[in-house]
Structure 1
Amino acid sequence: MTHTSLSKKINMNGTDVYYESYPNDSSKETIILIHGFLSSSFSFRRLIPFLTHEYNIISIDLPPFGKSGKSRGFLYSYHNLATTVIQIAEKLHLNKITLIGHSMGGQIALHIGYLRPDLVSEVILLCSSAYLKKSKPLLIFASYIPFFHIFVKRWLGRSGVEKNLQLVVHDQSLIDKDMEEGYLAPFLEDDIFPALTKMIRDREGDLSKEILHEIDIPCLLIWGEHDKVVPLSVGKQLNKDLKNSKLIILKETGHLVPEEKPEEVFLYIKQFANKTADSC
Structure 2
Amino acid sequence: MTALPVPVPVARTVHRHLEVDGVRVFYRESIPERPDAPVLLLLHGFPSASHQFRRLIDALGSRYRLIAPDYPGFGHTQAPHGFGYTFDRLADITEGFVQRLGLTRFAMYVFDFGAPVGLRLAERHPERIAGLVVQNGNAYQEGLSDAARAFISLRPETPGAEKTIRDLLTLPGTRGQYETGVPAPELLAPDGWTLDQHFLDLPGRQDAQVELAFDYRSNLERYDQWQSWLRTHTPPALITWGVGDPFFTEAGARAYLRDLPDAELHLFDTGHFALETHLPEIAPLIADFLDRTWSTGEPTAAPYRGEGPK
TM-score under structure 2 length normalisation: 0.78
Which deviations, in whole Å up to 9, do the C-alpha atoms of 1:155-204 show, x marking residues without a partner?
Answer: 42274433332126442112344334223221232320121222234441
Stretch moving more, 70-79 or 97-106: 70-79
Label 1:150 to 1:248 Cα distance change in 2 as closer, same or farther (>3 A).
closer
Q: In structure 2, list runs of 5 or more residues that go unmatched.
A: 1-8, 142-148, 299-310
CA contact (8 A) 1:124 1:269 kept: yes
What's the CA shift for 1:9?
Answer: 1.8
Aligned to 1:56: 65
Relative to structure 1, the CA distance from residue 69 to residue 168 in structure 2 (aligned partners, 3 Å threshold; closer, same or farther) is farther
Q: Deviations over 1:26-62 (max 9, x none)?
A: 1422111111121111211221111212111111111
Number of residues paired by the alignment? 275
After TM superposition, what 4+ stretches of structure 1 lie above 6 angstroms from structure 2?
148-151
Could you tell me whether the CA contact under 8 Å between 2:179 and 2:271 is conserved in 1?
no
TM-score w.r.t. the length of structure 1 is 0.85
CA contact (8 A) 1:218 1:245 kept: yes
RMSD: 2.8
Shift of 1:73: 2.6
Is the contact between residue 22 and residue 57 of structure 1 (CA under 8 Å) also seen in structure 2? yes
- In structure 2, what is the equivalent of residue 208 of structure 1? 223
Q: Secondary structure at the match of 2:32?
A: coil
User: How many Å separate the matches in 1 of 2:156 and 2:259?
Assistant: 29
Q: What is the aligned counterpart of 2:54 among 27, 34, 45?
A: 45
| Aligned with 2:250 (options 232, 247, 253) | 232
Does the alignment pair 1:18 with 2:30? no
Q: What are the ranges of 5 or more consecutive residues in structure 1 without an aligned counterpart? A: none
Bigger Rg, which one = 2
Aligned residue number for residue 2 of structure 1:
10
- Aligned counterparts of 1:82 and 1:260: Cα–Cα separation in 2: 28
Q: Secondary structure at the match of 2:156?
A: helix
Q: Match for residue 140 of structure 1?
A: 156
Question: In the aligned structure 1, how far is the partner of 2:180 from the partner of 2:54?
Answer: 19
Shift of 1:14: 2.7
In the superposition, relative to structure 1, how do residues 249 and 149 fare at CA in structure 2: closer, same or farther (>3 Å)? closer
Identity of aligned residues (%): 21
Distance 1:154 1:278 in 2: 47
